Amino acid sequence: MNNYYAQSYGKAQELMYRVFGWMSFALMLTGITSYYVYSVEALRLAIFGNSFIIFGLFIAQIALVVVLSSYIVQISYGAALVLFALYAILSGITLSSIFMIYTMGSIFLTFFVAAAMFAAMALYGALTKHDLTSMGSFLSMTLFGMIIVMLVNLFLQSSVLDLLTAMVGVVVFAGLTAWDMQKLKMLAHQIDSRNVLIDNIAVIVALQLYLDFINLFLSLLRIMGERKK
């Protein structure tokens, strides 16, 4: 019995390490790609000077998330990693635009604030004894509503509405971080009995937390970011 619990704990710990390892790798890949695209003027102008390329990048990112989420158990571990890395690179390309809008100092400051908030909410999700399922469902619905408002604001161009959606975004993605972390903790303890591929599960959970962090960072940047003059 003790040997079973020791093996179960070892697998749970292994899953946690892999999730945060791949999430950190993806964030590093995104950051390097983002700054590289911004630094190479010809590449930057080629990408952001063509609306079809921008649209294609967004469609490709959505497609990758759908594929990973839908077929994560069916595809190989190597394929899952390649798709995740590709998503991180595509995100880096689109996110390179923030260097054209905001000052470098405010970007770095916002990144550290986002990292601190993410860590705090992840810790809360891992340690709390409260079931966050209902909160997660509410936040997910709020997220869909926020996306609709942001799409409408593309036509309205309201700075007040943009600020309000950014503030809501901070709350939503901070809460989703705690929820996803609680789901990860529960999954870590059940993974042996569910008999699923720990490698593939680590990739998809890493993607979920990666998206939480990126969107939390972008929401904070819209509030804290100092625009270039």
Give pLDDT tens digits for 106-130: 999 999 999 999 999 999 998 999 9
Band (2; pLDDT cuts 50, 70, 90): very low
Angle at 122 between CA 165 and CA 218, to 5 degrees: 30
* pLDDT for 13: 76
Backbone angles phi, psi at 186, to 5 degrees: -65, -40
Place of tokens 């942001």: 150
In whole angstroms, what is the distance from residue 179 CA to residue 185 CA? 10
Q: What is the pTM of this model?
A: 0.90
Q: What's the pLDDT score for residue 10?
A: 58
**Beta-carbon count within 10 A of 111 CB:** 16
32: confidence class by pLDDT, cuts 50, 70, 90: very high
Percent above pLDDT 70 for the chain: 91
Query: Quick one: pLDDT band at residue 197, thresholds 50, 70, 90?
Result: low
> Rounded to whole angstroms, how far apart are CA atoms 116 and 138?
24
